[in-house]
Amino acid sequence: MSKKFVVGQIGCGAFARAQHGPNCCRNEHIAKIKWACDVSKDNARTYAQQFGAEKTTSSFEDVTTDPEVDVICIATSHEAHVPIIESAAKHGKHVFCEKPMAMDELQSYKIIRAVRTSKIKLCVDYMRRTAPAMLALKREWLAHKANPQRQPWRYIEKPHEKLIEETATDFLVRVQDESSSYRMVHLDPFRGGGLIIGEATHWLDLACWLFDDDRPVQILAWGSARMRYGIHLSFQGGNAATIIFTPNGSFDYPKEMFEIACDGALFRMEHWVENQYYGRPGTEKEVFSLQRDCAPEVGKQGGLSGYLEKHKATVSSTTNAKKVWNDLVPNHGWEENFDGFIDSIINGSPTPCDELAGYRATLLGNLAIKSIELNKPLPVPVDKWDYHVELQ
């Protein structure tokens, strides 16, 4: 029987209560949540009552220095991560940290150094890389790339040797959101970093995970680094990722859509509930279960149409759609990412998203901001990507 872990939660706000608490309580390897720590006593008290934490505090050092605690879960504002992780690492605690891991290179350096010196496990909650729908999308794309299949009716004007542009893969991320879904702290440049550091790092990380055998070499961004932007990321092998984010959309339609175009085929994922595969024979669609479904009797067909029916039924009796955010939740991979982190501690294996991946997302986010400021594309230097931290 494997060891059971004791958890300390640092940062007990809405997201910690929506994901960290439930995922800790659900995982069979977690013995208990001992600490609920937050600068807001009300947040700490609410979290403790909801998830059975034994103690509350406003000092993170009470948690990181407790010899009984094995795992620290961090859901604080972004700028607070470094001292918490450094203290946790010093005292041998494994760390599960909300994104972004850090806001700049210096913060990232300090975290990488602390984690690797102490040999603890760190996992950043870029959970989209562990979502079932995204894993399926990557699987189908790689299978097609390895052995392209054509629809029998596919028309080709004149066969020719492939041009360089035709040998690459294009990854498109379209995000439409409502600006009201973000608190002002997200837009504070020194606490939240704006929505490129706070949100685009999710999709920059996802692009790097998707093209994991390739390296980004150039980034071009435009718009507003604060909350309305586009980012184009070019990879050494010719692959490319494009992220388009608008805060002027509607909660009435799902937030995220992903497309992979490759060698005569299109692979599309709609809001984590439905994958569509075009341009090749075989499977045309897959549907995926929600993480939480408060309306199981509605939209039983699943997929995008089922989700939209559930959403309409759920929000029809409220004036604030965010109130049902915890009740109707597509599976973004939160549970899988946390479970993978715990498994990595038990098995001595890599975490689903380690400190280097966390740093790289921050690096690309900061380069995107600089690209907007300078109004030009920027290189992704190899010495920044293949990052070296000397340990003493």
Share of the chain above pLDDT 70, in %: 96
Beta strands in 215-352 (DSSP E): 216-224, 228-235, 240-246, 256-262, 265-270, 274-278, 285-287, 290-293, 328-330
Q: What six digits make up the tokens of 11?
A: 């940062």
Q: What six digits make up the tokens of 91?
A: 């005292």
For residue 139, give the 3-state DSSP assignment.
helix
69 domain residue, yes or no: no
Domain span at 320: 129-333
219 domain residue, yes or no: yes
Per-residue pLDDT tens for 6-36? 999 999 999 999 999 999 999 999 999 999 9
Dihedral pair phi/psi, residue 230, rounded to 5°: -135, 145
Q: Quick one: pLDDT at residue 351?
A: 98
What lies within 8 Å, CB to CB, of 330 at 6+ separation is 254, 271, 272, 273, 288, 290, 291, 307
CATH number at residue 265: 3.30.360.10
Per-residue pLDDT tens for 75-132? 999 999 999 999 999 999 999 999 999 999 999 999 999 999 999 999 999 999 999 9
CB 103 within 8 A of CB 79: yes
255 domain residue, yes or no: yes
pLDDT for residue 178 is more than 90: no
175 domain residue, yes or no: yes
CB 224 within 8 A of CB 372: yes
Give the closest residue to 208 by CA, choosing from 322, 358, 367: 358
Q: Is 180 exposed, middle or buried (0-12, 13-18, 19+ CB in 10 A)?
A: exposed
Exposure of 256 in the CB half-sphere (CA atoms within 13 A): 21
29 domain residue, yes or no: no
pTM summary value: 0.94
Per-residue pLDDT tens for 238-281? 999 999 999 999 888 889 999 999 999 999 999 999 999 999 99
Per the structure, how many domains does the chain have?
1
40 domain residue, yes or no: no
342 domain residue, yes or no: no
363 domain residue, yes or no: no
Residue carrying structure tokens 């499977």? 283
Long-range CB contacts for residues 305-310, cutoff 8 Å, separation at least 24: 306/273, 307/254, 307/271, 307/273, 307/274, 308/253, 308/254
Distance CA 123, CA 99 (A): 10
